[in-house]
Chain A
Amino acid sequence: MNESLLDVNSLTVGYRDGSRPISILNQVTFRIRKGETLGIVGESGCGKSMTSLAVMGLLASPLQVQEGSIRLEETELTGLSAKQMNRYRGKDLAMIFQEPMTSLNPVFTIGSQIEEALAIHLPLSRSEVRKRAIELLQLVGIPSPEKRHGDYPHQLSGGMRQRAMIAIALACEPRLLILDEPTTALDVTIQAQILELLASLKEKSGMSMMFITHDLGVMMKMADRVIVMYGGRIVETAPIAKLYEEPLHPYTQGLWKAIPSADTLNQRLYSIPGTVPDPREETPGCRFAGRCPHARQECLAAVPPLVPMDEDRSVACILYS
């Protein structure tokens, strides 16, 4: 359980504005252990999705990795050609996206979309591929899989489509499954079913997960450890229990306060004042300073480094250094 599967080191992602490099993701460092589920939380635009796309090698032009390394066990993934990367995508690394309605190709059957992933990576015959695809449909809880195999995406409900997406992702038994807000677009009841399915699949296979969400309730259910991102940087990382009991970073505290609960039923919902800063504005200091209740003059001088508080917890805030 302590062995690293994925090691991301000082990952910086951005684009060039003329000759000026603009970084959106800054010095992101984290690791995912074998069999572990790492949660990434943060509000829209904090760099959660970009981190996952960088790991998959799916950054859309003009975005690119400007610095840092992404290691999958012994393999350095940054700098691999598209062709080399295709050997890992879908095989060792798989990804499930937020929108099940648009993430499946509308003109191919569900079955053929699962089979495609199998046929690319595994030396199976046609009939074996088909058999495996039907098994996968069964595995993800799609009823009458033989029949659904020939269905087109528009014939399935949102929840069923997300199950089909999961089947595609699990086709080659990946070592790391990245989930980018996999239940955000679904009804709450369906959401619970999908989370349960994912948890049981993980238990069976022992794979690692990178689970991206802005829903802290979902995070509590799924993650072992969490990294909190803000403005393209990691501001805090801790096991989920510790983070829940005692959030250290003022931003994490703000996130926690923003969860509506029964106690706050008749009050105004809390929201962190201000908005996420534009990555194009270069600020020398802490990016959260402008919205932070504890901000001081020093906060604006330099970016606070991520400082280890104990063996499995770090925080990037001047209050703790």
Chain B
Amino acid sequence: MVPMIARKLLELVLVIFFVTLIVFFTFRLLPGDPALLKLGQDPTPEAVAAIRAEMGLDRPLLSQYLHWIGDLVRGDFGASSLDGKPVLSLLAEKVPKTLELAVLGTLLSLFIAIPAGVLAAVYRYSWVDRLMRSVSLFGFSVPAYWLAILLMLIFAYKVHLLPAGGYASLAENPWLHLKGLVLPVLTVGIINAAQVFRFLRSGMLDIVNQDYIRTARAKGVSEALVIGKHVARNTLPGLVTVVTLNFSLLLSGMVITEQIFAWPGLGWLMIQSILSRDYEVVQGAVLLSAVFIVVMNLVGDLINAMLDPRIKYN
């Protein structure tokens, strides 16, 4: 197990290195000068030059990059060019909000998809299966922004049950906080449920037709145990991969959902800082997203190594 973790951690470092290159240089290719944005309308060339020097923008790109990496290694993510807040504290403030949505959305998706997927696989090609597949096709096909707006239209505009968006602190206003969570969690949960359902159904159907399931039946194992033990246990590793991957994608930016519901998480922060050319913040946020994906990937691999004896630890 230890060599596997070590190898995965090395991979993580490599991936992060490539991400820093991509993040740094692609944002430098974007049009728009953060110095100009900071100074407002019609600044004097001297003022621009002064602020560019202060932000380090007058140095060669490579030197800027090395400077940034050097700071990163020391744990310094830089500061926002808008208000001078440290990037790290900005991220620390936003991540829990995204985490909350991602965890609840993932739980909701599993809550819907696991029973639905198992039922559809057990009663394959029946009306139950067909109904669930049709519903999942809907969830799979609609874009998040459309579903978000639809939910908002129904629950905030037609029946004034829930807020259309915004974030209230759990400590100060717990009821409003919970009400604000419902629509974004529904949006994320429904769309993810469709994906998990489709995987689970086809994964289980694949396993049900394996020779070893026939062996289990030939032993006299009851149908409930055939599904609940033999099929489930073999479907689990694939499910873990799908769920950890989906979860890492949620963590690394529910850009659209957060934007629509004005939920001030990581995705929302990314959009805001891209619009204001706040390089340091964008870089930090994207880098963190990449770390989330790689780490969740590692977590999924580790869980699967425990679940499937065929996965070797070396």
Contact = CB atoms under 8 A, between A and B. Distances in A.
Nearest to B208: A60
A89 B217 contact: yes
A157 B32 CA distance: 65
B214 A117 contact: no
A94 B215 CA distance: 10
B107 interface: no
19 contacts: A83-B222, A88-B220, A94-B218, A99-B211, A102-B212, A105-B212, A105-B215, A106-B310, A107-B234, A107-B307, A107-B309, A108-B233, A116-B216, A116-B221, A117-B220, A120-B220, A120-B221, A165-B215, A168-B215
A58 B219 contact: no
B130 to A, nearest CB: 16
A154 B309 contact: yes
B211 A97 contact: yes
B219 A89 contact: yes
Interface in B221-254: 221-223, 230, 233-234
A90 interface: yes
A121 B220 contact: yes
Contacts of B310: 106, 152, 154
A89 B220 contact: yes
Contacts of B217: 58, 89
B210 interface: yes
Interface in A121-168: 121, 152, 154, 165, 168
A90 B219 contact: yes
Nearest to A168: B219
Q: Is the interface of A mostly helix, strand, loop or mixed?
A: mixed
A165 B211 CA distance: 12
A152 B307 CA distance: 12
A86 B215 contact: no
A91 interface: yes
Given A152-B310, A154-B309, A154-B310, A106 B212 contact: yes
Nearest to A97: B211
A93 to B, nearest CB: 8
A103 B215 contact: yes
B218 A90 contact: yes
B63 to A, nearest CB: 53
A87 interface: yes
Nearest to B210: A102
Interface of B: 210-212, 214-223, 230, 233-234, 307-310
A1 interface: no
B206 to A, nearest CB: 13
Interface residues of A, number: 31
A171 B220 CA distance: 12
A188 interface: no
Given A103-B215, A105-B215, 16 more contacts: A58-B214, A86-B221, A86-B222, A89-B220, A95-B218, A102-B212, A105-B216, A106-B308, A106-B310, A107-B233, A107-B307, A120-B220, A152-B309, A152-B310, A154-B309, A169-B218
A104 B230 CA distance: 11
A182 to B, nearest CB: 13
- In the A-B complex, list the 7 residue pairs whose CB atoms are closest, starting with the nearest: A90-B220, A90-B219, A89-B220, A102-B211, A105-B212, A152-B309, A117-B219
A56 interface: yes
B308 A107 contact: yes
B215 A104 contact: yes
Contacts of B309: 106-107, 152, 154
B308 A89 contact: no
Nearest to B220: A90
A168 B216 CA distance: 10
B28 to A, nearest CB: 49
A265 interface: no
* Residue with the greatest number of chain A CB neighbours at <10 A, chosen from B210, B212, B308: B212
A99 to B, nearest CB: 6
A99 B217 CA distance: 16
